[in-house]
């Protein structure tokens, strides 16, 4: 490389939602770039117009923004190698494809879709490659004058790479070490389609070269395409500028059998997309981690640990810590099993770790979504501190904290009624009177008063503590009951005792 600055890219196709495997690819590229003081580029690979989905590019940008993984160059921010959408670079690619044909590394293929379909029918496991290329209608089998006439007449055609026969291709992968391929096993991939658009194979090589990409970190599923890409770097005369390759391990189903898919998420009841994705054509909604109640910090943290660790027992990392600790040497070759319970653990840890101020706007949004408008920020911050250790997902803040802002609509009567007595009714009527005239309203005073009164009336503390909790919150949950009473205030606590007594004695 003429320029030693690290440059990496994430190059998604705008064909749908962003799978967590895709976000992990973004993350590892980002971490590698930042670790080495380099640039992280977002390039949209929209050459397959038949699969293009409206809204998918914006969705990818939104997901990356939610995660806090901001590209240094992209279709939005621009950069020195614009444009960053392949569809806008279309005129570039044909000249390179034609150069390959002129030098004997590629050829024109005029086979119609019908002819290809017939061939696939007649030949089991048909591969358009060294075994069958001379049975087909292409510039290797047709006379030159006929090829020239077909091109002159604008006959639809593609350009295919001509894979060498009986050869092997090797390269050193940053994760896997030396990887080798037999060229006879690889078909003659299409480089330029009939509509003039390049395929991924040609576009990725041309763009990586022109954008001076130094390291290509991508999913393991691209490994079978590597021999085509390696040859293109060589045939185009750019071998010395070729990036270093790293093929990241797959994210596997929880049982370890096969790659985790959207269907697995639907079947097992957890999201596999970063954010909710609604298909514009079908209206189908695929749930995302954000809407389920995950923090972006936790989402990135759990993805980092799928296929990487820093060699210690540490599991909770901030993005800055990940940048500092990340190294390709610690990325595993083996696929990583996705564990949703572990994912939730990361989220719970991050909710505990963040201060109330950092969580405030997100918790406000959770309450607003349930119809509760919170206007008292100081109170909300106290509520968050009181209940956050009990929350696994952000959405849990509603169940764990809504009673601070509205009276319980119902009570867990099954926990109270079977053991309810007239003596308990009298106890709470008198407690209400005591609390009505209480001078101090701190949790410690309230607890001392409550315990003293319980002894005086001959109750065990457990006999009356649970009913008191249910009076205030509606169920058997929540933080220390006297902290709740202090937060609610004298008047509201008294009102709730009174209201609950009616329900308990009805």
What is the per-residue pLDDT across 151-172, written as a single tens digit (0 to 9) for each? 999 999 999 999 999 999 999 9
For 14, 73, 84, 254, 385, the CA distances from 57, given in Å and listed in that order, are 5, 15, 12, 29, 38
Q: What is the mean pLDDT of residues 35-50?
A: 94
Q: Is residue 1 scored above 60 in pLDDT?
A: no
| 338 SS3 class | coil
Q: Residue 2: is its pLDDT beyond 50?
A: no
Cβ atoms of 289 and 299 closer than 8 Å: yes
Per-residue pLDDT tens digits for 100-125: 999 999 999 999 999 999 999 999 99
177 — phi, psi (to 5°)?
75, -150
Give me the mean pLDDT over the 165-181 stretch: 97
Q: How many helices (H) and strands (E) does the chain have?
A: 20, 13
Q: Are 136 and 128 in contact (CB under 8 A)?
A: yes
Residue 382 tokens read as: 């106290």
- Tell the burial category of 183 from Cβ atoms under 10 Å away from its Cβ (0-12, 13-18, 19+): middle
Q: How far apart are CA 37 and CA 214, in angstroms?
A: 13
Per-residue pLDDT, averaged over 327-342, amounts to: 97
The pairing of strands 106-109 and 215-219 is unpaired
Closest to 5 (Cα-Cα) out of 46, 47, 36: 36
pLDDT of residue 45: 94
- Cα Dmax for the chain: 111
d(CA 227, CA 248): 17
Q: Which of 322, 323, 316, 326 is nearest to 354 (CA)?
A: 316
Per residue in 378-391, pLDDT (tens digit) is 999 999 999 999 99
Amino acid 506: pLDDT: 87
Nearest Cα to Cα of residue 481 among 296, 473, 115: 473
Looking at residue 311, the DSSP 8-state letter turns out to be S
Q: Note the pLDDT of residue 428.
A: 98
- Give the pLDDT confidence of 389-409 residue by residue, as tens digits: 999 999 999 999 999 999 999
At 215 the three-state DSSP class reads strand
Say yes or no to pLDDT of 3 above 70.
Answer: no
pLDDT digits (tens, 9 = 90+) for 209-253: 999 999 999 999 999 999 999 999 999 999 999 999 999 999 999
Check if 262 is active-site: yes
Q: Which of 35, 119, 212, 262 is catalytic?
A: 262
The span from the CA of 496 to the CA of 487, in Å, is 13
Reduced to 3 states (helix: H, G, I; strand: E, B; else coil), residue 13 is coil
Provide the 10 A C-beta neighbour count for residue 393. 19
Please tell me the distance from the alpha carbon of residue 260 to that of residue 444, in angstroms, as a whole number: 51
Sign of CA dihedral 56, 60, 65, 66: positive
């Amino acid at each position: 490389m003429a320029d030693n600055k690290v440059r990496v890219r994430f190059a998604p196709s705008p064909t749908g939602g962003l799978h967590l495997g895709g976000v992990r690819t973004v993350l590892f590229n980002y971490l590698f770039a930042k670790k080495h003081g380099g640039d992280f580029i977002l390039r949209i690979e929209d050459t397959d117009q038949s699969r293009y989905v409206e809204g998918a590019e914006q969705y990818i940008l939104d997901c990356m923004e939610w995660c806090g993984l901001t590209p240094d160059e992209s279709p939005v921010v621009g950069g020195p190698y614009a444009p960053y959408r392949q569809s806008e670079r279309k005129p570039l690619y044909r000249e390179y494809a034609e150069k390959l044909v002129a030098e004997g590394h590629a050829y024109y293929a005029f086979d119609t879709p019908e002819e290809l379909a017939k061939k696939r029918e007649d030949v089991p496991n048909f591969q358009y490659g060294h075994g069958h290329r001379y049975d087909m209608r292409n510039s290797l089998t047709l006379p030159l004058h006929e090829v020239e006439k077909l091109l002159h007449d604008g006959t639809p055609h593609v350009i295919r790479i001509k894979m060498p026969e009986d050869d092997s291709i090797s390269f050193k992968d940053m994760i896997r070490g030396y990887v080798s391929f037999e060229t006879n096993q690889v078909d003659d991939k299409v480089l330029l389609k009939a509509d003039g658009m390049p395929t991924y194979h040609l576009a990725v090589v041309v763009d990586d070269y022109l954008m001076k990409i130094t390291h290509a970190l991508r999913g393991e599923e691209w490994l079978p395409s590597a021999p085509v890409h390696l040859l293109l770097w060589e045939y185009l005369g750019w071998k010395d500028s070729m990036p270093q390759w790293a093929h990241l391990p797959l994210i596997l189903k929880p049982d370890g059998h096969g790659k985790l898919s959207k269907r697995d998420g639907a079947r097992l009841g957890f999201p596999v997309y970063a954010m909710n994705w609604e298909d514009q054509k079908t209206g189908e909604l695929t749930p995302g981690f954000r809407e389920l109640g995950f923090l972006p910090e936790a989402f990135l943290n759990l993805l980092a640990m799928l296929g990487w660790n820093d060699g210690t027992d540490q599991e909770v990392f901030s993005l800055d810590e990940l940048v500092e600790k990340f190294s390709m040497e610690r990325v595993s070759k083996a696929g990583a099993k996705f564990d949703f319970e572990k994912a939730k653990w990361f989220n719970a840890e991050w909710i505990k770790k963040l201060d109330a101020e950092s969580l405030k706007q997100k918790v406000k949004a959770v309450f607003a979504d349930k119809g509760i408008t919170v206007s008292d920020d100081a109170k909300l911050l106290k509520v968050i501190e009181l209940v956050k250790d009990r929350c696994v997902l952000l959405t849990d803040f509603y169940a764990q904290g809504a009673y601070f802002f509205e009276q319980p609509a119902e009570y867990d009567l099954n926990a109270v009624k079977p053991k309810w007595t007239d003596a308990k009714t009298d106890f709470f009527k008198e407690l209400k009177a005591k609390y009505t005239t209480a001078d101090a309203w701190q949790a410690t005073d309230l607890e001392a008063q409550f315990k003293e009164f319980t002894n005086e009336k001959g109750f065990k503390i457990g006999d009356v503590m649970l009913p008191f909790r249910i009076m205030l919150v509606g169920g058997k949950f929540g933080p220390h009951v006297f902290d709740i009473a202090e937060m609610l205030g004298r008047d509201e606590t008294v009102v709730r005792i009174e209201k609950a007594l009616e329900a308990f004695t009805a």
